[in-house]
Structure 1
Amino acid sequence: MIQIQNVSKSFGGLQAVKDVSFEVAKGSVTGLIGPNGAGKSTLFNMVAGLFPPTSGRVLLEGKDITGLPTHRLFHRGLVRTFQVPHEFSRMTVRENLMVVPAGQRGENLFHAWLRWGKVKEQDRQTLEKVDEVLAFLEITHVADELAGNLSGGQKKLLDLGRTMMTDARMVLLDEPGAGVNRTLLGKIREAIQRLNRERGYTFCVIEHDMDLVSALCDPVHVMANGELIASGPMSELRRNEQVREAYLGGGASGRMGEPSAKNKGPSAGNGEPSAKNGEPT
Structure 2
Amino acid sequence: MIRIENVSKSFGGLQAVKDVSFEVAQGSITGLIGPNGAGKSTLFNIVAGLFPPTSGRIVLDGQDITGLPTHELFHRGLVRTFQIPHEFSQMTVRENLMVVPPEQSGENLFNSWLRWGRVREEDTKVLERVDEVLDFLEISHVADELAGNLSGGQKKLLDLGRTMMTDAKMVLLDEPGAGVNRTLLGKIREAIRRLNTERGYTFCLIEHDMDLISQLCDPVHVMANGELIASGPMSEIRQNAEVREAYLGGGVSGHMGEDA
Specify the TM-score bucket, using the shorter chain as the normaliser: over 0.9
Matching residue of 1:74? 74
Matching residue of 1:85? 85
Q: Contact 2:82/2:174 (CA < 8 Å) preserved in 1?
A: yes
RMSD: 0.8
Q: Contact 2:241/2:250 (CA < 8 Å) preserved in 1?
A: no
Partner Cα distance (2:7, 2:255) in 1: 27
- 1:16-55 superposed matches below 5 A: 16-55=16-55
Q: Contact 1:89/1:148 (CA < 8 Å) preserved in 2?
A: yes
| AA aligned opposite 2:233 | P
Q: What percentage of residue pairs aligned between the two structures are identical?
A: 85
Q: CA deviation at 1:249?
A: 5.4
Which digits, 9 at most, give the CA deviation of each residue in 1:161-181, with x for residues without a partner?
000000201000000000000
Which digits, 9 at most, give the CA deviation of each residue in 1:70-113, with x for residues without a partner?
00000000000000000000000000000000000000111011
1:186 equivalenced with 2:174 (yes/no): no
Partner Cα distance (2:151, 2:90) in 1: 14
Q: CA deviation at 1:252?
A: 3.8
- The 4+ residue runs of structure 1 with deviation greater than 3 A are 249-252
Q: CA deviation at 1:255?
A: 1.1
Q: 1:245 to 1:141 in 2, by over 3 A?
A: same
Q: Contact 1:245/1:252 (CA < 8 Å) preserved in 2?
A: no
- SS state of the match for residue 172, structure 2? strand
Partner Cα distance (1:107, 1:172) in 2: 27
Partner Cα distance (2:130, 2:249) in 1: 45
Judge which range, 250-259 or 139-148, deviates more: 250-259
Which digits, 9 at most, give the CA deviation of each residue in 1:131-164, with x for residues without a partner?
0000000000000000000000000000000000
Matching residue of 2:230? 230
Q: Contact 1:168/1:201 (CA < 8 Å) preserved in 2?
A: yes
- SS state of the match for residue 136, structure 2? helix
- 1:254-265 superposed matches below 5 A: 254-260=254-260
1:144 equivalenced with 2:144 (yes/no): yes
Any unmatched runs of 5+ in structure 2? none
Matching residue of 1:59? 59
Partner Cα distance (1:229, 1:142) in 2: 42
Q: Contact 1:48/1:79 (CA < 8 Å) preserved in 2?
A: yes
Partner Cα distance (1:44, 1:163) in 2: 16
- SS state of the match for residue 247, structure 1? helix
Q: CA deviation at 1:250?
A: 9.5
TM-score (norm 1): 0.92
- SS state of the match for residue 22, structure 1? strand
TM-score (norm 2): 0.99
